[in-house]
Amino acid sequence: MEIFTQLGVDSSLPYQFGIILAVFILANFIFLGKLQSVLEVREEKTIKLENAAEGTIEKASSMQNEYKLKIDDANRTALKVSTEKKQKVTQKFTDQYKQTEKEVNSLVDKSRSDFSKEIADSKEKYLAESENLAQSLVQKILQ
């Protein structure tokens, strides 16, 4: 009892305890109950948002994979188209080159044959002239 007296405990302790209990019940009814419901709603929404975020992440991941597949397909298609066009252009210029080469070869062959004919004609002419010159030289030597 002496300790209670030294602590300042007197006959008003049960009244103080009653007041504190009444304030706690009133605070629980007015404030703490509402706070508890707000915390529960907040937790529920957070869990829903986490689940929604996981779903969104999965959807984004699948969309990313789909995007990569489409990009790869577009790259393959573009490469195929460009290769085909390159082959067509190469074939076109190869055909043009071969045609031009044939024309040049025929022109060279014609020029060669014309030149050979011209040389043969000149050879015959010079041989005939050389025979006349040889006869004329022989006559001059004999005179």
Q: Sign (positive/negative) of CA torsion 41, 44, 45, 46?
A: positive
Q: Is residue 5 part of a domain?
A: no
Give the domain range for residue 85: 10-142
| Rounded-to-integer distance, Cα 72 and Cα 65, Å | 11
* 74 — pLDDT class (breaks 50, 70, 90): very high
In a domain, 113, yes or no: yes
Among candidate residues 61, 58, 39, 40, the one with its CA nearest the CA of residue 50: 58
Q: Tell whether 2 is covered by a domain.
A: no
Residue 55 lies inside a defined structural domain of this protein: yes
The reply to whether 91 falls in a domain is yes
DSSP state of 64: H
Residue 56 in any domain: the answer is: yes
Q: Considering the entire predicted model, what is its pTM? A: 0.44
Query: For residue 86, what are its two tokens?
Result: 């390159």
Distance CA 58, CA 14 (A): 61
- Report yes or no on 26 lying in a domain: yes
Domain presence at residue 3 = no
Mind listing the pLDDT tens digit for each residue in 75-102? 999 999 999 999 999 999 999 999 999 9
- Domains identified in the chain, total number: 1
